[in-house]
Chain A
């Protein structure tokens, strides 16, 4: 035990630092992206975009109050991802943030398109925008999570 506590040689210090890098590599390799939960984010996005079908675009337009519920459900999914993987990230990294921002922008754009479709009486078109929201958000959530995991390798 005592020898562990002594100052290491240069080689010993290098070996210790290399081991830290190897451990982070191993940690990153062991993490699997929780695909089902990523699809959960997609489901929330599809639900939110689909809410446009129940609105009445025009002068009396009232945004659906369920938007806050969608946000709350998203936070529940974040919690579930942390519990499932056993990791809570400190920083997600710029690539992950771009992916999350991309998902938000895509959902806002799809919601706007949905409102336009509803105002034209094309309610069925909201199915397409909802499916697109599901696919794009699921994919972007996976990209964000993978990026955060890859960032672990760099400490």
Chain B
């Protein structure tokens, strides 16, 4: 289990929530995250750029059936480093909150 470690890149509210959505899955479509968080494309893109630059999130594009060629699915996933950092950050939050995770 990850050791508690507060991560300032992840802790920004929206970035924490993005990682929280990506954590239980292998990958999510950009549009699914945007809908779940209720934010605009631009806001989500900006935060994702920071997470991708930090090596915490990976992105890949795929053609989408039912959409024209110009529109593609953007798949997003936590990298192994991102997963470790998020787990450690959640443990740090649990410690701060006094939840004492086992």
Interface residue ranges, A against B (CB under 8 Å): 1, 4-5, 7-10, 12-14, 16-17, 19-20, 23-24, 26-27, 30, 80, 83, 85-90, 151-152, 154-155
Contact = CB atoms under 8 A, between A and B. Distances in A.
B6 A7 contact: yes
A8 B93 CA distance: 8
A88 to B, nearest CB: 4
Interface in B24-79: 24-29, 31-32, 35-37, 62, 64-65, 73, 75
A30 B36 CA distance: 7
A23 B32 CA distance: 11
Interface string B77-98: 0000000000000100110111
Contacts of A30: 32, 35-36
B20 A86 contact: no
Contacts of A90: 24-26
B13 A4 contact: yes
Contacts of B20: 19-20, 23-24, 155
Given A17-B97, A83-B64, A90-B26, A23 B21 contact: yes
A24 B17 CA distance: 9
